[in-house]
Amino acid sequence: MGRLEGKVAIVTGSGRGIGKSIARLFIEEGAAVLINDLDEEAAQLTARELQAAGGKVSVVAGNPDGDVTNESSCLRIVEAAREDLGGLHILVNNAGTTLDRVIHKMDDRAWRFILDVNLKGTFLMTKAVYDYFKRQRYGKIVNMSSMAGLGSNIGQANYATSKSAVISFTKSVAIDLAPYNVCVNVLAPGIIDTRLTRAIPSEKWESVTQAIPMGLGRPEHVARVVLGLCSEDFDYVTGQLIVVSGGLII
């Protein structure tokens, strides 16, 4: 019997990277998963792979249907999970991106774009499940912050701001929902090997990854922590930040 048997989960941004790994692990543990991504092709590919492995999935993807910055799309994603998969118990707000610029070259568009995807997307998806989880008196929400939300890196004022706000947002929602048996927690991954980090310039890659005491992180490292938080082992843990950085931040 899997640890998520009978559960239905939404994993945003699950077309690739960390989100895809979470979706795969959830399926292995018995959950049905709504695959969401702005990138339709990536989402459909993930869905086909998971279905071939015997998983129950539904997909809401592409632009604008799969865009977590669009409020009506978020409502539709939640509706699709409930209708196609028969309920909803878990939301993983994983969709996120970067658009690095040093501050004097960062225009309003680059600022707003990152705040929209990383922060507003998390807010809108959370709002879309809020009443349902409250009425159900059960739910697990896991938000994706970043090590950059605790400090920052050159050129990441927009990203760091969005990710640090996700931590405060998580704590506020956790306070609201604790009396309803809904757990809301947040992860801060360090450096995980995905398309996002492969954007780090090649001349910096070696020094950045060599500084990680346990070596470069893999998406499964993060996915396993998300699974733990969504399992009954963590039913009494809410409002917490967990750093998943292989010892980079201690």
The catalytic residue positions are 159
Instruction: Output b/e per residue, 229-243; b: 16+ Cβ within 10 A.
Output: bbbeebeeebbebbb
Minimum Å gap between C-beta 181 and ligand NAD is 26
Alpha-carbon distance of 56 to 33, in angstroms, equals 7
Tokens of 25: 């692990």
CB nearer ligand NAD, residue 139 or residue 189: 189
Q: Does 15 bind ligand NAD (CB under 6 A)?
A: yes
Alpha-carbon distance of 39 to 41, in angstroms, equals 6
Closest CA to 36 of 28, 46, 27, 26: 46
Contacting ligand NAD (CB under 6 A), which of 96, 119, 125, 243? 96
DSSP strand E in the chain: where? 8-11, 32-37, 57-61, 90-93, 139-144, 182-189, 241-244
The residues, any chain, with a CB within 8 Å of residue 48's CB and separated by 6 or more, are none
Contacting ligand NAD (CB under 6 A), which of 8, 9, 67, 120? 67
Find out whether 125 and 118 touch, Cβ atoms under 8 Å: no
Q: Does 246 bind ligand NAD (CB under 6 A)?
A: no
**How many Cβ atoms from other residues are within 10 Å of residue 85's Cβ?**
19
Using alpha carbons, list the distances in angstroms from residue 243 to 47, 221, 240, 249.
29, 11, 10, 8
Contacting ligand NAD (CB under 6 A), which of 4, 9, 10, 16? 16
CB nearer ligand NAD, residue 31 or residue 67: 67
Q: Does 170 bind ligand NAD (CB under 6 A)?
A: no
Contacting ligand NAD (CB under 6 A), which of 8, 26, 60, 146? 146
Number of residues that bind ligand NAD (CB under 6 A): 32
Q: Does 97 bind ligand NAD (CB under 6 A)?
A: yes
Interface region with ligand NAD, contact rule CB under 6 A, candidates 33-41, 82-90, 100-108, 168-176: 33-41
Contacting ligand NAD (CB under 6 A), which of 124, 189, 223, 243? 189
Binding mask 194-223 for ligand NAD (x = CB under 6 A): xxxx--------------------------
> Which residue, chain included where needed, has tokens 């790994």?
21
Contact residues toward ligand NAD (CB under 6 A) are: 12-13, 15-19, 36-39, 42, 66-69, 94-97, 117, 121, 144, 146-147, 189, 191-192, 194-197
